[in-house]
Amino acid sequence: MPAHPLEPRRTPPGGRALKTVERILEATALLLDEVGFDALTTNAIAERAGVNVASLYKYFPNKYAVLTGLAERMRDEQLALIRRPTEPGAWREELATLLDVFLDLFVSRPGFATLASVLSSSAPLREIDEASLAAEARALSERLAEYGVEGSRADREAIARVALEAARGVLPLARRAGPARRKRLMRELRRMLEAYLAGHIEG
Amino acid sequence: MPAHPLEPRRTPPGGRALKTVERILEATALLLDEVGFDALTTNAIAERAGVNVASLYKYFPNKYAVLTGLAERMRDEQLALIRRPTEPGAWREELATLLDVFLDLFVSRPGFATLASVLSSSAPLREIDEASLAAEARALSERLAEYGVEGSRADREAIARVALEAARGVLPLARRAGPARRKRLMRELRRMLEAYLAGHIEG
Amino acid sequence: MPAHPLEPRRTPPGGRALKTVERILEATALLLDEVGFDALTTNAIAERAGVNVASLYKYFPNKYAVLTGLAERMRDEQLALIRRPTEPGAWREELATLLDVFLDLFVSRPGFATLASVLSSSAPLREIDEASLAAEARALSERLAEYGVEGSRADREAIARVALEAARGVLPLARRAGPARRKRLMRELRRMLEAYLAGHIEG
Amino acid sequence: MPAHPLEPRRTPPGGRALKTVERILEATALLLDEVGFDALTTNAIAERAGVNVASLYKYFPNKYAVLTGLAERMRDEQLALIRRPTEPGAWREELATLLDVFLDLFVSRPGFATLASVLSSSAPLREIDEASLAAEARALSERLAEYGVEGSRADREAIARVALEAARGVLPLARRAGPARRKRLMRELRRMLEAYLAGHIEG
DNA sequence: CATGAATGAGAATTCATTCAT
DNA sequence: CATGAATGAATTCTCATTCAT
């Protein structure tokens, strides 16, 4: 049994409890961006969410479970984007679109950009971090397979993972940048991924 | 005046004190990898370093300053690697070499891999993080200029930064991976950067 | 924003919390007399009060705020005594009575005697000290006005302040003295103030 | 044996050691006014005095001994002023002069005003405080005897002590006040003491 | 002897977490 | 069930004091 059980305490029965969980996660996300990881406290989260700390602990067994909840949400949204089907053949267009929606995700969803680095700098969260990234890489590698990328499963997953890591590095940066710099960064990111994937898809 | 002044309290003139500072930074690096950012305490650092906590605070005004010290060291080592000159023309070879030595840095220098994500997840450290990355991007962009990459200064820095972020994402991953996976990941990283830079250098 | 905000963290609405605040202040007063200012620690206060240190910090932002709370209480009690109306004309009797009740206050209220000197020897508390004394002097000067003391407002306040300071110096001394010495000291204090005020009221 | 031996560690042999002690005491006085009692640290004193902490501990066994040293100096200077003989008969003039020189002492000698309250708010120093005040009261009571004040020794000492306490209360206040207010306060202090002593000397 | 450096012990303050109502 | 209130256990940071050179 791990020191920090990360599973939510009980599936919120729906209705008003769900709204409570929602507000806790949202407050967590906002605070993460505002004050960073190490100033994030459960008391602050509860206050910001407008709920009592004891309520927070009713739905999450501990602090890390809250972050885990947020991480799962982030992972699910990213998975959904990756899996969203598109017309085959137009991989360059799809890549461009995917980068756009990912940027949108990182920009419009507070906390996501910060959460990504939090997950890999905190020991209790590393596991979920790696699992999430592996899942995303797997999903992406399946798309690569559709596009005819060859090699072993592991090869394709490595390709996917490398592409993902590149995006995960640049997106938070683009988020913080002004419009001109953001455009430049996104353009270069797209170029890099295009050049890279072209070798695998077309080569 | 910021809440957390990050400057070291005084440059140790070079006798016993230097050794103390050295051991503090080393202990910090080790602990960062072992327990992660949020379990990192100044007491633990001091204990691990075999010095008294008060000594730690004699040389660093607070916890963040210790991490800053480590970050500066990391930045300087990376800058040195980036700037190391090489015979012109062989950019592919140089890239491969650079990735090798960077991997070596991330693998052999404890704390570096973790520190990278710590820096962007902690508000008091974001500034130094961005400054360090900007400096590295600038150094790298100068190398790109030598290789004939065209475009504005800002363009070249964006290119450099995107390449850097990709590497910074994959290297910690490669560090944690077993030999086979590490090889795959590094190969793909190299392919990606080669394909990308080829477009800028040769195109 | 000052280094040591002195305002209580929130007015306890009046249930259990009020009792906690009460006990903290009482413990502070007792310890102040017993161990003095520089041995006064928040941990000792909490322990003596039978509450957790964290509770102390829930109601007071820092150590100085606790002392400020006590100082305000002291000021209010002194103000109440000064303002307590009496039959006009009998100023000597009123003075004697006032000195008696002040002595009683200093003797029976632990901490008050010590607190007085603490307030002026600690930089973060000097402000509240001066403000309290000014308020008391103002209140006393209003009584002097009722008794026909002439001169400007500032003059009367100076008279009041000088009288107050004399009392504030002698009272802690009388408190510590045995019965005989106490009697002598109080008699002389009364004589001094009578002689002084006679000149202003009757002259 | 008391927890805090207050005697200086050895009489400074004269010459350069004396200068060191001198500088320590001066630094202590300055800091006392600037930062107050509770922010006064031996390290800060040493730094301000331009000597090494270890040197401070060579001449003073502990922190309280430094304050004691300052207190003794203060007491001696006050005693000298009180004892300074003058032509008999002119007690009002002498009182006025004495108040003037005392004010000068409190104004020009940093730390003295603050030290007075420090001494009575710190348990380890209370003894020396009371002893000093008793000595001053005794000296003053001898002057009162010269002027024909009657009553027992204890009576005269009570008179002297009450007068002293009044002065000790007002002087720090006058020190902090602007010129106009200072003048008013000193005038009233003089009036009070005159009226009081007139009753004992002339009545 | 004076200093750079160190340190044991503790002090202020915080935080994750729980309980009583 | 939600909340006001409490708390055990750290955590950051400081300080009086000492030692080695």
> How confident is the prediction along chain C (203 residues), in pLDDT tens digits per residue?
467 888 877 655 567 888 999 999 999 999 999 999 999 999 999 999 999 999 999 999 999 999 999 999 999 999 999 998 767 668 999 999 999 999 999 999 999 999 999 999 999 999 999 999 999 999 999 999 999 999 999 999 999 999 999 999 999 999 999 999 999 999 999 999 999 999 999 97
Helix axes B42-49, B16-35, angle to 10 degrees: 120
Task: Answer for the pair C92, C153: CB distance below 8 angstroms, yes or no.
Answer: no
Minimum distance, in Å, between the CA of residue A16 and any CA atom of chain B: 32
pLDDT bracket for residue A1 (50, 70, 90): very low
pLDDT of the residue at B15: 78
pLDDT of the residue at B2: 62
| Separation between Cα atoms, residue B98 and residue B136, nearest integer Å | 13
CATH number, domain with residue D21: 1.10.10.60
Cα–Cα distances in Å, from B5 out to B31, B61, B64, B126?
A: 22, 7, 8, 13
Token pair 């990756």: residue: A82
Q: Within a domain: residue D155?
A: yes
A141 and A77 within one domain: yes
Tens of pLDDT along D173-199? 999 999 999 999 999 999 999 999 999
Tens of pLDDT along B191-201? 999 999 999 99
Asked if D195 lies within 8 A of C196 by C-beta distance, the reply is yes
Query: Residue C38 CB closer than 7 angstroms to strand F?
Result: no
Tens of pLDDT along A52-103? 999 999 999 999 999 999 999 999 999 999 998 766 668 999 999 999 999 9
pLDDT of the residue at C18: 87
Asked if B38 lies within 8 A of A35 by C-beta distance, the reply is no
| Separation between Cα atoms, residue D114 and residue D124, nearest integer Å | 16
pLDDT of the residue at D17: 72
Supply the range of the domain harboring residue C153. 67-201
In angstroms, the first-to-last Cα distance of chain B is 48
| Separation between Cα atoms, residue A184 and residue B169, nearest integer Å | 20
**Residue at C47: amino acid letter:** E
Q: Within a domain: residue A51?
A: yes
**Average of per-residue pLDDT across D102-108:** 96
Tens of pLDDT along B154-167? 999 999 999 999 99
Q: Within a domain: residue A137?
A: yes
C81 and C27 within one domain: no
Q: Which residue of C has its CA nearest to D133?
A: C173
| Separation between Cα atoms, residue D133 and residue D140, nearest integer Å | 10
Task: Answer for the pair A125, A119: CB distance below 8 angstroms, yes or no.
Answer: yes
| Separation between Cα atoms, residue B103 and residue B118, nearest integer Å | 19
> Within chain C, what is the greatest distance between any pair of CA atoms?
58
pLDDT bracket for residue B17 (50, 70, 90): confident
pLDDT of the residue at B62: 97
CATH number, domain with residue B75: 1.10.357.10
Q: Within a domain: residue B151?
A: yes
Q: Within a domain: residue D7?
A: no
> Of the candidates C24, C40, C64, which is a domain's last residue?
C64
| Separation between Cα atoms, residue C117 and residue C130, nearest integer Å | 12
Q: Within a domain: residue A7?
A: no
pLDDT of the residue at A169: 97
Helices (H), D40-111: 42-49, 53-59, 63-83, 91-108
Separation between the CA of A49 and the C1’ of F6 (whole angstroms): 21
Asked if D166 lies within 8 A of C162 by C-beta distance, the reply is yes
Minimum distance, in Å, between the CA of residue C150 and any CA atom of chain D: 14
pLDDT of the residue at B11: 57
Indicate whether B1 pLDDT > 50.
Answer: no
| Separation between Cα atoms, residue B135 and residue B76, nearest integer Å | 10
Q: Within a domain: residue A2?
A: no
Task: Answer for the pair D74, D90: CB distance below 8 angstroms, yes or no.
Answer: no
Tens of pLDDT along D5-27? 777 765 555 566 778 999 999 99
List all residues of chain C from 135 to 164 with a beta carbon under 8 Å from chain D. Answer: 154-155, 158-159, 161-164
D34 and D74 within one domain: no
pLDDT of the residue at A111: 95
The domain total for chain B is 1
Separation between the CA of B4 and the C1’ of E17 (whole angstroms): 28
A134 and A41 within one domain: no
Range of weakest confidence among B89-93, B108-112, B177-181: B89-93
Asked if C185 lies within 8 A of D158 by C-beta distance, the reply is yes
Check CB contact of A199 with chain B, cutoff 8 Å: yes
pLDDT of the residue at A10: 57
pLDDT of the residue at A7: 73
| Separation between Cα atoms, residue A109 and residue B85, nearest integer Å | 42
DSSP state of D177: S
Number of Cβ atoms within 10 Å of the Cβ of B11: 11
* Both tokens assigned to D84: 């300074």
Helices (H), chain D: 16-35, 42-49, 53-59, 63-83, 91-108, 112-121, 123-146, 153-176, 179-201
Cα–Cα distances in Å, from B71 out to A114, A141, B100, C99, C135?
A: 18, 34, 21, 66, 54
Residues 6+ away with beta carbon under 8 Å from A110: A29, A30, A32, A33
Nearest CA among B173, B83, B170, B166 for reference residue A195: B166
**Average of per-residue pLDDT across B36-41:** 95
C40 and C20 within one domain: yes
Handedness of CA C146, C152, C158, C161 (dihedral sign): positive
Q: Which nucleotides of F are covered by protein (CB under 7 A)?
A: 1-20
Cα–Cα distances in Å, from A5 out to A60, A63, A124?
A: 9, 10, 9
Separation between the CA of D5 and the C1’ of F18 (whole angstroms): 17
**Average of per-residue pLDDT across A101-127:** 95
* Residue with nearest Cα to nucleotide E3 C1': D52
Asked if B36 lies within 8 A of A122 by C-beta distance, the reply is yes
Minimum distance, in Å, between the CA of residue D15 and any CA atom of chain C: 34
pTM: 0.91
Tens of pLDDT along C144-173? 999 999 999 999 999 999 999 999 999 999
A72 and A39 within one domain: no
* Beta bridge partner(s), residue A122: B36
Nearest to B188 among A122, A162, A185 (CB): A162
D98 and D176 within one domain: yes
Per-residue H/E/C for chain B: CCCCCCCCCCCCCCCHHHHHHHHHHHHHHHHHHHHECCCCCHHHHHHHHCCCHHHHHHHCCCHHHHHHHHHHHHHHHHHHHHHCCCCCCCHHHHHHHHHHHHHHHHHHCCCHHHHHHHHHHEHHHHHHHHHHHHHHHHHHHHHHHHCCCCCCHHHHHHHHHHHHHHHHHHHHHHHHCCHHHHHHHHHHHHHHHHHHHHHHHCC
A130 and A39 within one domain: no
pLDDT of the residue at A13: 56
Mean pLDDT of chain D: 93
C-D C-beta contacts closer than 8 Å: 124
D104 and D53 within one domain: no
Indicate whether B3 pLDDT > 90.
Answer: no
Check CB contact of A56 with chain B, cutoff 8 Å: no
| Separation between Cα atoms, residue D32 and residue D70, nearest integer Å | 11
Check CB contact of A118 with chain B, cutoff 8 Å: yes
* Residue with nearest Cα to nucleotide E14 C1': C54
Rounded (10°) CA dihedral A98, A100, A101, A102: 80
Check CB contact of B192 with chain A, cutoff 8 Å: yes
D37 and D79 within one domain: no
pLDDT of the residue at D1: 38
Asked if C161 lies within 8 A of D185 by C-beta distance, the reply is yes
**Residue at D130: amino acid letter:** E
Q: Within a domain: residue B50?
A: no
Token pair 């504030």: residue: C168
Task: Answer for the pair A44, A101: CB distance below 8 angstroms, yes or no.
Answer: no
Task: Answer for the pair B124, B64: CB distance below 8 angstroms, yes or no.
Answer: yes
DSSP state of C149: -
Considering all nucleic acid strands, name the nucleotide whose C1' atom is nearest to the C-alpha of residue B54: E7
Interface test with D, best of C191, C193, C196, C197 (most D CBs within 10 A): C196
C174 and C123 within one domain: yes
D91 and D74 within one domain: yes
Minimum distance, in Å, between the CA of residue A13 and any CA atom of chain B: 32
**Average of per-residue pLDDT across A147-166:** 96
Tens of pLDDT along D41-83? 999 999 999 999 999 999 999 999 999 999 999 999 999 999 9
* Both tokens assigned to C42: 């928040």
- Please report, rounded to a whole number, the percentage of residues in chain A having pLDDT higher than 90: 87
Per-residue H/E/C for chain A: CCCCCCCCCCCCCCCHHHHHHHHHHHHHHHHHHHHECCCCCHHHHHHHHCCCHHHHHHHCCCHHHHHHHHHHHHHHHHHHHHHCCCCCCCHHHHHHHHHHHHHHHHHHCCCHHHHHHHHHHEHHHHHHHHHHHHHHHHHHHHHHHHCCCCCCHHHHHHHHHHHHHHHHHHHHHHHHCCHHHHHHHHHHHHHHHHHHHHHHHCC
